[in-house]
Amino acid sequence: MEADRGVGVGVAVEVAVATKVYAGGTDALQATSLTLEAGRTTALVGPSGCGKSTLLRMIAGLEAPTAGRVTLDGEAPEVLQRRGELAVAFQDPSLLPWRSVAQNIELALDLARLPRNDDRVAELIALVGLDGFATATPAELSGGMRQRAAIARALVTAPRLLLLDEPFGAVDELTRHELARELPALWEGGGTTTLLVTHSVAEAVRLADRVIVLSPRPGRVIADIPITLTRPRGAESAEAAALERTVRDALEAGRAGTAAGQNAG
Ligand SMILES: Nc1ncnc2c1ncn2[C@@H]1O[C@H](COP(=O)(O)OP(=O)(O)OP(=O)(O)O)[C@@H](O)[C@H]1O
């Protein structure tokens, strides 16, 4: 399937009535169904502990649903994972401590059995603002810099499915804004399907084509809000502010237990 790589073919993600009850009995996710359209960016928001990371890990094939099914282009997540066409960036970036920034990014190419590409590695290092740190080891970086290296590592293979779990958590406000401005062009240019878990409503509205709101635990989809803003998205606009309000209202309704709920029942 080498020929399919990096030619702008995003994956369609289907989560069908997925439920997750952890071994200890924690009800993390309740009968959740959603479809992520190929090549689109979807943000997932919801109160702390509502099951956002659980859902992302299920889509990545790192967690099996207790009931229901997750398919990527109709296949099990492991199929895409084996082909190296899926990338995940977590809030806690697990970089190999003995490898430099550039070597950590290159490793993703090796694991996906893709050829080394020094130019692309250098381009991504510059894009995430780590110019001059290509040969630094993770211990020599701040937490935010490590996160940015992990984002570059996730992007280097031009994955067909990109799963980002709070990847900007430790990044300072200014860099966060810069990344939010620069990154979408990278993943959209490749036709990548992207899922972004975030606590920032502003970031969700700025980056996504659609924002999905989960209820408090056990999470279920209570709102699915299309983000109709044109791209590129720059300065704050009245339209963006109105969309942020819509998302916040849905979160509030979920918290109060008054949301209508697309997936209720
Ligand atoms: N491996 C696990 N074993 C047992 N319980 C877990 C496990 N992972 C998560 N949970 C529990 O499942 C629930 C959902 O957790 P999850 O991390 O998916 O939520 P989240 O919405 O991503 O939270 P946050 O926004 O705080 O990161 C929580 O109650 C959490 O304690």
DSSP character string of 64-110:
--SEEEEEETTB-HHHHHHTT-EEEE-SS----TTS-HHHHHHHHHH
Q: Residue 112 above 50 pLDDT? A: yes
pLDDT, residue 74, reads: 94
Distant-in-sequence, close-in-space partners of 100: CB < 8 Å, separation ≥ 6: 134, 135, 136, 137
Distant-in-sequence, close-in-space partners of 16: CB < 8 Å, separation ≥ 6: 33, 68, 69, 70, 71
CATH code that applies to domain 2-85+161-256: 3.40.50.300
- The ligand 1 atom nearest the CA atom of 54: 18
CA of 28 to the centre of ligand 1 (A): 7
Q: Best mutation site among 20, 22, 92 for ligand 1, i.e. most ligand atoms within 8 A of its Cβ?
A: 22
Q: How far apart are CA 116 and CA 50, in angstroms?
A: 39
pLDDT, residue 9, reads: 82
Ligand 1, atom 12, lies closest to the CA of 28
CA of 80 to the centre of ligand 1 (A): 24
Q: Which residues sit opposite 32 in a β-bridge?
A: 18
Pocket of ligand 1 (CB under 6 A): 22, 24, 26, 28, 46, 48-54, 217
Ligand 1, atom 2, lies closest to the CA of 22
pLDDT digits (tens, 9 = 90+) for 35-85: 999 999 999 999 999 999 999 999 999 999 999 999 999 999 999 988 889
Q: Best mutation site among 52, 198, 203 for ligand 1, i.e. most ligand atoms within 8 A of its Cβ?
A: 52
- The ligand 1 atom nearest the CA atom of 50: 21
pLDDT, residue 263, reads: 42
Query: ipTM for the complex?
Result: 0.98
pLDDT, residue 265, reads: 35
Mean pLDDT of all residues belonging to the chain: 88
The domain ranges of the chain are 2-85+161-256, 94-158
Ligand 1, atom 26, lies closest to the CA of 48
C-beta separation of 71 from 224 below 8 A: no
Write down how long the chain is. Answer: 265
Ligand 1, atom 28, lies closest to the CA of 49
Q: How confident is the model at residue 8 (pLDDT cuts 50, 70, 90)?
A: low
Ligand 1, atom 7, lies closest to the CA of 22
pLDDT, average across residues 235-264: 82
Tokens representing 156? 């280097």
Q: Which residue has the tokens 């209570």?
A: 222
